[in-house]
Each structure stands twice: as C-alpha cells, then as structure tokens.
Amino acid sequence: MDLPHTDTPRLVLLRHGETTWSAAGKHTGRTDLPLTTAGEREARDAGRRLAGLEPAVVYCSPLLRARRTAELAGFTEAVDDPDLAEWDYGPVEGRTSAEISEIIGRDYDIFRDGVQVLPGGDAGPGESLADVRRRADRFVDRARPMLDDGGTVLVVAHGHLLRVLATAWLDVDPVFGARLELGTAAICALGTSHGLESIEAWNLVAG
C-alpha cells in the first residue's frame, strides 16, 4: 500500500527489510545483520512506494540493515543517528518470544517484561523501555524544528524503536507500543490533526 499524498509536513517512518533473524522472529538489537535477498527486494519496493516523497532530511539507524534499506529505497544521503539504533536487548538478543516464554514459564511481552527476565543472563544488561523512550524523545525534539519549518522528515530504523518513537510523538505511555504491529519494510506517517499529534498511516506494506 502506498503512502497517501499530502502537502502537510510529517514524520515518515520506514522499517528495515527482512533479515534472517527477523524472518525467524528473533530479537535483533545490536547484532549487525545484513538484509536477506527478500529484504533487499522489500527495500526497493518501499522506495517505489515512497516515490515523490521529498523529505527535508533523512535520518537512519547506523546499523547495516537500516543503512542498506535506506540506500536501496533511494535515500543514499541518509544521516546516521545513534538514537535510532534498535533496542539493546541484552540477555534476550537472538531469542524468540516463544523461547523466552518457555524459559520463564509464562507469556513474554518485551513492552511489559523488559529484557531482564532470564535467569543468569550473561549477554549484557541491555536497555529498559524507559531508556529507549528517552532516545526516541531526543530524536523527536531534534525533528520538530524541521517539521515546524514545513519539511517532512524520513526515518529509517527498526521495529521496536519505531514503535516507541510513535509513542514519543503521541506523548503516551511507551507500553502502548505493544499495540503497534510493524512489518518489515512497512511505512508509517506521524502528523498533526486539529492541533494534536496523530498517526496518519501505520504499517503500510506491499500488497
């Protein structure tokens, strides 16, 4: 599905294309994986769906899968922003939610449970949801002046990070991000309606 056209400034979000871990449902934080062949195809398709978008600036996670998605989508001059890196999953990196649920004996939800749920985890502390929200808030604060000047801002990043970024834009509890499903290479738009920050479009995927 294409992004609806508008002349109103907005924050446009693009999740990276498929990787082997995203295809398997594994938490992929700072592990720097490339796109699969399917992921590269998704990125090119996202570029076609964003044809005509003329962002004032494109910001990108510094991780390879996001950088390559931006490049294949046609946004070769994207600016790396460390605040757009994916959630640092620490002990749950590389595991699926089903695997984590089996270990802890109950259904696992990262937005509710965080990353410090495994006994004897030794993969580093990772980030809390509040940590990720602070990064998202910093980015929104940097983007607002460009939006206020009439420019659209494109963000190429990751599933969980972008879901938290949406909660920062809406100024709601970041736990709400659990309700915002986001597929690989999906496109979203955040804007303003009647003086309130709003979601104009969400999880637009090729169809």
Helix (H, G, I), strand (E, B) or coil at 192: strand
5 is catalytic: no
16 is catalytic: yes
Amino acid code (one letter) for 193: S
**With contact defined as beta carbons under 8 Å apart, do 189 and 3 qualify?**
yes
CA distance 22 to 143: 28
Alpha helices by DSSP H, listed for 15-158, are 20-24, 37-49, 64-72, 97-104, 110-113, 129-148
Cα–Cα distance list, 59 to 27, 28, 30, 56, 94 (Å): 23, 20, 18, 10, 26
Residue among 16, 27, 158, 160 flagged as catalytic: 16
- Beta strands in the chain, from DSSP E residues, in sequence order: 11-15, 57-60, 79-80, 153-157, 187-193, 196-204
Residue among 42, 86, 93, 127 flagged as catalytic: 86
Residues labelled catalytic? 16, 86
